[in-house]
Structure 1
Amino acid sequence: MSLSLKIINEINDEIVFLRKISKKDKNFLFNSLNDENITKYLLIGPLLSLNHSKLLIKKYFKDWVDNKQFCYIIEINDRGIRKQIGIINLWNINWRSKRAEIGIWIISKFWGNGYGNSAVNLLIIIALEYLNLHRLEVHIARDNNFSINLFMKCGFIQETLLKDYLFINGIFHDAIYLSLI
């Protein structure tokens, strides 16, 4: 499908910065996706090697070019230096139906500071204003209250409960299905 997209490589609210993932993020990705606090509810991780991290970034690049997924590094300004704290992406994009899913993770020492809220709101701007999407969705493990609350604070509403929907670390989890229209 040939699209005329206004995808942007970077956006910020002066506190939180989203920028397109790059090759220089391989160590950050590797270290973060080997942290059990981060991967507890993710469908990815741990990464086996730095090469695995490089291959994942290469896939993100290809998906970006193919308009399948847009992966951003979340950064904050720490005393004048931008510091990587997580990833947020638009994925599982359905251009015909104008919808996509959001995925996000943030290093645990930065939880509870409002950075996730800012990152989600910036990605909503990209999705709705730049990409002209109509509907955003998330599927979150039912016991992941932190993430459920994050998205509800950003205006998402719960639509349903999906039984045994997510298979993470060898265990089925019910998922809360949230959307923003």
Structure 2
Amino acid sequence: MKRLELKTMVRIGNLEATTERLVIRPYKTVDYSNWYHQYAHCYAALNKFDEGKIDLSDYTEVWFDEMVKKHLHFMNKDEAYILGVFKIEDGAHVGVIDVSTLMRNEFQWGRIGYTILNTYWQQGYGKEAVKAVLDMAFTQLGYHRIEAHINMDNTASIKLAESAGMEFECVRRAFIFEFGEWTDHLVYFRNAKQE
């Protein structure tokens, strides 16, 4: 219960993690042109888990403003924390990480998801960002356990979870409906350090 009380004191405006090369924070409306530019310059999808180059015709500045408001609503309700990943050097938007609440109270349990734009792969940004967000989840958001749910054949995501210090726990059978069928997922996890 102590962690839950600490969580309610988090100020969303102060929610930010900084690493040697990155700043990870909630999106702001002023991020639109940076966000748009980076997505516009993605390569075509490099594998089935990569969104790659997308049609941006519906992603207007008004749409982006609404997205930012939705994200704030999710954070205020403690449902999800959706964070942009930006390079400190030039401010470029390189990806997005989200932490979703699965259950609070005596569990303090969440799930992490991560996407690095394919133009920034193989540069260590994913590992750096995921490690920072895991720390944020434990120290600023009061979670005790964070899981990553990963497709069985998503080798890059498995390597990223392991490099960020997450441990393999189990296979959840027919866990999520995707690609037109109920799909097995690997579960990786990390717990907060015990005091």
TM-score, reference length from structure 1: 0.81
Question: Max radius of gyration: which structure?
Answer: 2
Aligned to 1:87: 96
Q: How many correspondences in the alignment?
A: 178
Matched, 1:41 2:49: yes
Q: Distance in 2 between matches of 1:70 and 1:42?
A: 21
Give CA deviations for 1:59-103 in whole Å, capped at 9, x if unaligned: 2111112222111110113xx421100001111342211111111
Bigger fraction of residues in strand: 1
Aligned to 1:57: 68
Q: Distance in 2 between matches of 1:38 and 1:126?
A: 30
Matched, 1:69 2:75: no
Q: Distance in 1 between matches of 2:43 and 2:69?
A: 21
Change (3 A) 1:36 1:180: farther
TM-score, reference length from structure 2: 0.76
Aligned to 1:18: 24
CA contact (8 A) 1:26 1:50 kept: no
- In the alignment, structure 1 segments of 5+ residues that lack a partner are none
- In the alignment, structure 2 segments of 5+ residues that lack a partner are none
Identity, in percent, stands at 21
Q: Distance in 2 between matches of 1:22 and 1:94?
A: 27
SS at match of 1:81: coil
Aligned to 1:4: 9
Aligned to 1:174: 184
